[in-house]
């Protein structure tokens, strides 16, 4: 009988060892998953920072800036820096035509001297094709600076906005 008791104690101890090792294995698994998550998070953060490493304070401009793609007075060909929206509002306060969400122009009838640069201000959330003598694409909430340089004076320019015709008129004089 004594031998049976010792065998039972040994069997119980073996069973306890098997049962007690199971929670430790689960805990190790959780630690392993946690370590992998932390490593992936570190890689993600370090990769994201590389994309922004080249940006300096002098490269950050007020948003939006002028859309200097084709047709703008400040197009990159002339190496003229783009102008911020806030600066353009000040500079072109008397030479600005604003287009709203419905392509309505304000003001809709203006007179400028030949050679004047004007601001065409797109205040809608979509890119617009605007015709003022030539055709210009103006991105959403952006603007273009256009120089009115007409060979024959006086001349009346009709402004079209997308499919809307004659939303404004510009009389160009000497």
Q: What angle do CA 158, 162, 163 make, to 5 degrees?
A: 85
Q: Checking phi first, is residue 149 left (phi over 0); if not, alpha (psi -120 to 50) or beta? A: beta
3-state SS class at 98: strand
pLDDT grade for 30, boundaries at 50, 70 and 90:
confident
| pLDDT single digits (tens) 97-109 | 999 999 999 999 9
Q: Which two tokens stand for residue 121?
A: 């201000």
Residue 72 confidence (pLDDT): 60
Question: Average of pLDDT values for 15-23?
Answer: 49
What's the mean per-residue pLDDT of the chain? 77
pLDDT at 160: 97
Asked if 117 contacts 146 with a C-beta cutoff of 8 angstroms, the reply is yes
52-63 mean pLDDT: 38
- Phi, psi for residue 160 in degrees, rounded to 5: -110, 145
How is residue 46 written in tokens? 């370090």
Tell me the C-alpha to C-alpha distance, in Å, between residue 23 and each of 12, 15, 35, 70, 86. 18, 14, 18, 68, 64
What are the residue boundaries of the structural domains of the chain, listed by start? Answer: 2-56, 76-173
Tokens 């992936």 identify what position?
A: 40
Query: Which residue would you say has higher pLDDT here, 139 or 35?
Result: 139
The encoded tokens of residue 37 equal 């998550």
Lowest mean pLDDT among 2-6, 36-40, 64-68: 2-6
What residue has token string 């604003």?
Answer: 98
Q: For domain 76-173, is the CATH number 3.40.50.300?
A: no
Instruction: State yes or no: pLDDT of 90 exceeds 80.
Output: yes
Q: Average the pLDDT over 26-51 and give the result.
A: 70
Residue 65's SS3 state is strand
- Nearest 5°: the CA angle 145, 151, 154 is 90
159 pLDDT more than 90:
yes
pTM for the whole thing?
Answer: 0.56
pLDDT of 56 higher than 50: no
Q: Give how far Cα 88 sits from Cα of 82, 119, 127, Å.
A: 10, 8, 19
Map residue 71 onto helix, strand or coil. Answer: coil
């Amino acid at each position: 009988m004594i031998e049976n008791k010792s065998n039972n104690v040994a069997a119980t101890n073996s069973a306890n060892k098997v049962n007690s090792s199971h929670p430790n294995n689960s805990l190790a698994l959780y630690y392993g998953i946690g370590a992998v998550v932390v490593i992936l998070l570190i890689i993600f953060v370090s990769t994201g920072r590389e994309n922004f490493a080249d940006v300096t304070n002098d490269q950050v401009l007020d948003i939006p800036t002028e859309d200097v793609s084709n047709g703008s007075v400040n197009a990159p060909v002339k190496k003229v820096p783009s102008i911020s929206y806030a600066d353009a509002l000040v500079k072109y306060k008397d030479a600005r035509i604003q287009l709203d969400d419905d392509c309505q122009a304000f003001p809709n009838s203006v007179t400028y001297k030949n050679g004047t640069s004007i601001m065409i201000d797109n205040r809608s959330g979509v890119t617009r094709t605007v015709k003022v003598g030539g055709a210009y694409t103006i991105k959403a909430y952006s603007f273009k600076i256009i120089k009115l340089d007409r060979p024959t004076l006086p001349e009346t320019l009709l402004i079209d906005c997308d499919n809307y015709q004659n939303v404004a008129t510009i009389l160009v004089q000497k």
